[in-house]
């Protein structure tokens, strides 16, 4: 984390704040790549960190410029519920073009206090959103097969998942974010 950049907490405050897609991307904003768990002739089950909790994520856009954004566990829980209820689509590289055939096998939030952990992802921060997704090997995006856009299925993927969405941002000091996290009873 570049401590010289502003830090914003992402929040879901009203109906305008929501996830638009879960994006399969070569450069997930969290920097966390997927892991192949199982593979057969037609599908691949992959473990992904969709959104890490309490982790500053570097962003650079035309509106704010360079900054870090952080998702607290309660916001991630709201995002998970919203995504499940609205059946948030998957896309590739934040394109907005839905990809078909992706099946969510597991979707859960790491909660150490309640024993909801996973030995497949021991270094993932408490409160993070983790997902096992089944991807079809014949996945086609923009007329190309996975190999055509650089997705190769092996033990570790060069790809990850990232959220596309509209969220409210509240600027915060890192010390205040740490204090807020310590006060959460999640």
Q: Is residue 177 part of a domain?
A: yes
Q: Is residue 9 part of a domain?
A: no
Q: Is residue 73 part of a domain?
A: yes
At residue 141, the 3 state secondary structure works out as strand
Q: Is residue 8 part of a domain?
A: no
Confidence bin at 41 (pLDDT 50/70/90): confident
Which of 48, 46, 45 lies closest to 22 in space, CA to CA?
48
89-138 pLDDT tens trace: 998 888 888 888 899 999 999 988 887 777 777 788 999 999 999 988 77
133-172 pLDDT tens trace: 998 877 655 555 555 555 666 666 778 899 988 888 888 7
Residue 134 has a pLDDT of: 93
Rounded distance between C-alpha atoms, residue 18 and residue 16, angstroms? 6
Kindly report whether the global pTM for this prediction surpasses the value 0.95: no
Q: Is residue 121 part of a domain?
A: yes
Domain with 31, as residue range(s), is: 17-183
Q: Is residue 21 part of a domain?
A: yes
- Domain total in the chain: 1
Q: Is residue 7 part of a domain?
A: no
């Amino acid at each position: 984390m570049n401590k010289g950049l502003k830090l914003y907490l992402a929040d879901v405050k009203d109906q305008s704040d929501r996830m638009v897609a879960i994006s399969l991307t070569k450069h997930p904003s969290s920097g966390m790549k997927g892991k192949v768990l199982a593979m057969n002739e037609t599908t691949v089950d992959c473990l992904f960190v969709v959104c890490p909790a309490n982790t500053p994520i570097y962003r650079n856009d035309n509106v704010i410029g360079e900054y870090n954004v952080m998702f607290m566990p309660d916001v991630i829980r709201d995002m998970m519920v919203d995504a499940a209820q609205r059946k948030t689509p998957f896309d590739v590289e934040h394109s907005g073009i839905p990809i078909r055939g992706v099946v969510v096998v597991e979707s859960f939030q790491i909660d150490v206090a309640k024993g909801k952990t996973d030995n497949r992802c021991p270094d993932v921060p408490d409160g993070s959103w983790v997902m096992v997704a089944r991807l079809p090997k014949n996945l086609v995006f923009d007329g190309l097969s996975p190999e055509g856009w650089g997705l190769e299925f092996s033990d570790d993927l060069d790809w990850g998942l990232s959220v596309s969405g509209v969220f409210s941002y509240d600027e915060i000091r890192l010390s205040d974010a740490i204090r807020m996290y310590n006060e959460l009873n999640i």
